[in-house]
Amino acid sequence: MSITPQDPQKRAQGVQRMFASIAPRYDLMNRLMTGGMDVRWRVEVIRRARIGAGDHLLDLGAGTGDLAREALKQAPGARVVAADFTVEMMQTGLSRYGKPRDWSGADALHLPFPDQCFDAVVSGFLMRNVVDVPRALAEQYRVLKLGGRLVTLDTTRPRENLLSPFIRFHMRKVIPWLGGLLSGDRSAYTYLPETSENFLPAEELLARIHEAGFRQAGFRRLNFGTVAIHWAER
């Protein structure tokens, strides 16, 4: 599979096809790639979203709905929408888990929701895949209520340290091999590490969040500096 970064539309279509192809094994690969730590990260994302009964939360780029289900676990009375632009991912989540009940086909750059309708917007490993980060942040800002919370979980470029050679070996060799073995699509798990290494450093994403108009923004690095959770308020 070829994903063309020079052409935003073709790149988006390529990303969509890639996620469609790996949907049945996506959750399993996430657990294996992170040693199960991604489950803990999602718990923290929802905790930082500070949702309660009756609050309206959007899980954007939901995939199979991991964050949406964690939100319902922490706040059973919340109204949760899981949105993604890959139908196969949403179908896998719905058929495998049966919840959340509300799913929406949505492009992160053109959200099909009215202004100021969500109390929180969360995402997991979405931002590195969008073709226009400022536009994606602007859309999330638009649909958040005043005082609403933004929380993103994504990979980030780690600082160089003694573990860097081992991290690169894991990302460039182990993950593609394991992904090819389990999903049959090695190219998808070559693309994912590449986007991780080439995505904005945590500090730069924080700057973009500020530029989008958010306030009280911050971030925390995790997993030897390869993952970060960012948070902010409208």
Q: How far apart (Å, rounded) are the C-alpha atoms in residues 173 and 56? A: 41
Q: In this predicted structure, what is the pLDDT of residue 226?
A: 85
pLDDT digits (tens, 9 = 90+) for 107-161: 999 999 999 999 999 999 999 989 899 999 999 999 999 999 999 999 887 776 6
Q: In this predicted structure, what is the pLDDT of residue 154?
A: 94
- Per domain, the residue ranges of the chain are 8-233
**Two tokens, residue 172:** 């460039």
Q: Which residue has the higher pLDDT, 29 or 163?
A: 29
Give residue for tokens 């992170």. 34
Q: How far apart (Å, rounded) are the C-alpha atoms in residues 202 and 159? A: 10
Mean pLDDT estimate for the chain: 86
- What does the DSSP assignment read for 8-35? HHHHHHHHHHHHHHHGGGHHHHHHHHHT
SS3 category, 150: strand
Whole-structure pTM value: 0.84
Across the range 13-20, mean pLDDT stands at: 75
* Position 4 pLDDT exceeds 50: no
Across the range 191-208, mean pLDDT stands at: 83
- Provide the 10 A C-beta neighbour count for residue 149: 23
**Two tokens, residue 150:** 């933004």
Q: In the CATH scheme, what is the homologous superfamily, with its name and number, of domain 8-233? A: Vaccinia Virus protein VP39 (3.40.50.150)
